[in-house]
């Protein structure tokens, strides 16, 4: 089987991709890792690794560098996803999983169509009752986030207040797009400690 995981940052896409790789031998394509590799020469000067490194490089929507870097991030995301899908298309007999980024829904429609044609798109849902928790997680440990036009500061707000107010709107906007892209959805109970890879596969296969 060939799966792709979609959803907001922090919903378990990388966690379950790694579990499938480690416990079931799936070949994993991590878009964030591939983007980081593309940017390696620039990121090395920041002295960080992983998604936090990408987040620092991209910046927040109030940073001067954010507009240019967020556009470049999406360009690289389209490149690495396209490259991954071409490899998958040439070797469809393996068990594979694509760990997409939260911003996959902003990619060109033809690329998303290819993703649906070649993989079973699994949406790791974000229920409304954990939105506040996700906001706090984001503020405490920022991930690279594409905001589009949903970051709208008010005159009487500081930067953190604007992020906290606008993030739920970003979630609602994205949830609608994730639902449209998904072939199947997995509820929040996947985060329970007793939930196993076998449980996940029984739902998505």
> b/e string for 57-86 if b means 16 or more Cβ within 10 A?
bbbbbeeeebeebbebbbebbbebbbebbe
Residue 139 near residue 163 (C-beta atoms within 8 A): yes
Q: Is the pLDDT of residue 160 over 70?
A: yes
- For the entire predicted model, the pTM comes to 0.91
Q: Residue 155: which CATH number? A: 3.40.50.300
Measuring CA to CA, which residue among 14, 15, 59 is closest to residue 196?
15
Angstrom distance (rounded) from CA 11 to CA 191: 9
List pLDDT tens digits, range 181-198.
999 999 877 777 788 999
Cα 84 to its chain centre, rounded Å, is 15
Lowest mean pLDDT segment, chosen from 47-56, 85-94, 136-145, 181-190: 47-56
Residue 24 belongs to a domain:
yes
List pLDDT tens digits, range 19-64.
999 999 999 999 999 999 999 888 876 665 566 788 889 999 999 9
Residues 103-120 have a mean pLDDT of 98
Domain residue limits at 99: 2-200
Name the domain count of the chain. 1
Residue 205 belongs to a domain:
no
């Amino acid at each position: 089987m060939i799966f792709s995981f979609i959803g907001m940052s922090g919903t378990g896409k990388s966690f379950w991709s790694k579990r499938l790789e480690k416990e079931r031998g799936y070949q994993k394509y991590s878009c964030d890792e591939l983007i980081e590799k593309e940017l390696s020469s620039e990121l090395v000067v920041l002295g960080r690794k992983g998604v936090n490194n990408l987040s620092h490089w991209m910046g927040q929507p109030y940073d001067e560098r954010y507009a240019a870097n967020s556009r470049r991030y999406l360009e690289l995301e389209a490149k690495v996803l396209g490259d991954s899908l071409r490899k998958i298309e040439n070797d469809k007999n393996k068990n594979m999983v694509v760990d997409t980024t939260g911003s996959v829904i902003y990619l060109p429609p033809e690329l998303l169509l290819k993703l649906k044609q070649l993989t079973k798109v699994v949406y790791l849902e974000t229920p409304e009752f954990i939105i506040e928790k996700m906001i706090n997680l984001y503020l405490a440990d920022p991930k690279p986030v594409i905001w589009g036009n949903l970051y709208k500061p008010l005159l009487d707000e500081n930067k953190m207040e604007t992020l906290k107010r606008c993030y739920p709107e970003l979630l609602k906007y994205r949830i609608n797009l994730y639902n449209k892209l998904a072939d199947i959805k997995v509820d929040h109970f996947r985060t329970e400690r007793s939930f196993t890879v076998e449980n996940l596969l029984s739902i998505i296969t």
